[in-house]
Amino acid sequence: MRAGRPARVLVVTAVEAERDAVAAGLAAAGGAGSRYVVVAAGVGPAAAAAGTAYALTEQLSAGRPDLVVSAGIGGGFVPVAPVGSLAVAETIVAADLGAQTADGFTPVAELGFGRSEHRPPAGLSRQVADALAAAYGPVLTVGTVTGTAERAAELTARHPGAVAEAMEGFGVAEAAAVLDVPVLEIRAVSNAVGPRDRAAWRIGEALTALTAAFGKLPGVLGG
């Protein structure tokens, strides 16, 4: 990102409820909303990449965005990211893109194809995490929501310090990287990563936290 406050920010969520929660926060921040475009691109990394690429291309005539933010609800690794809290990505990791063998999982980058993670600007991501009182660490992108304690333990072992998982960050980051636009990922925790208990998801609480985060973000990014 160029020095100073970003002139244009693209925020990509998965679903409309997340988009509306982000927009409500930006509206509460007052005026900053005009520099922000918020789109709901769909669930999963493929929809996220396609939607981000489309939105970036559409915005090019007004000038290339300075920053792309992947945002929404997510699963939190407890105890570091409990339900209702926020998580900000230090790295955005494609946690299930690769090959599963008898010896375990090999990430796609180790297979010699592409990359397995994106690194947001370190100073900026840390600054945003601190300002939002968010957990800070790797945020995993998965194609399949974790639903067992065994899978959660496997992910934690492979990605020490992981704070959250969701389904879009890596797709958003891949699209942003094509235009060399820096990326952040901000997640509001709706559920714990672990044994599947859909009834325990606190989506309303997470959306409220997401709104609060985007009420603060313009101030953190420089008004």
Ligand X SMILES: O=C(O)c1cccc(C(=O)CC[C@H]2O[C@@H](n3cnc4c(=O)[nH]cnc43)[C@H](O)[C@@H]2O)c1
Residue type, position 80, single letter: V
Q: Minimum distance from CB of 167 to ligand X (Å)?
A: 4
Q: Minimum distance from CB of 146 to ligand X (Å)?
A: 6
| Sites of contact with ligand X (CB under 6 A) | 14, 43, 72-75, 142, 145-146, 165-168, 190-191, 193, 198
Q: Minimum distance from CB of 47 to ligand X (Å)?
A: 9
Q: Minimum distance from CB of 123 to ligand X (Å)?
A: 26
Q: Minimum distance from CB of 96 to ligand X (Å)?
A: 11
Cβ proximity to ligand X, 2 vs 198, nearer residue: 198
Cβ proximity to ligand X, 74 vs 215, nearer residue: 74
Sequence-distant (≥ 6) Cβ neighbours of residue 128 within 8 angstroms: 88, 134, 184, 186, 217, 220, 221
Cβ proximity to ligand X, 10 vs 210, nearer residue: 210
Q: Which residue is nearest to ligand X (CB)?
A: 75
Distance, in Å, from the CA atom of 206 to the CA atom of 30, rounded to the nearest integer, reads 22
Q: Tokens 């669930």 correspond to what residue?
A: 43
Distance, in Å, from the CA atom of 182 to the CA atom of 165, rounded to the nearest integer, reads 20
Cβ proximity to ligand X, 1 vs 40, nearer residue: 40
Distance, in Å, from the CA atom of 42 to the CA atom of 46, rounded to the nearest integer, reads 9
Q: For residues 66 and 2, is the Cβ–Cβ distance under 8 A?
A: yes
Q: For residues 48 and 168, is the Cβ–Cβ distance under 8 A?
A: yes
Pairing of strands 164-166, 67-76: antiparallel
Cβ proximity to ligand X, 167 vs 173, nearer residue: 167
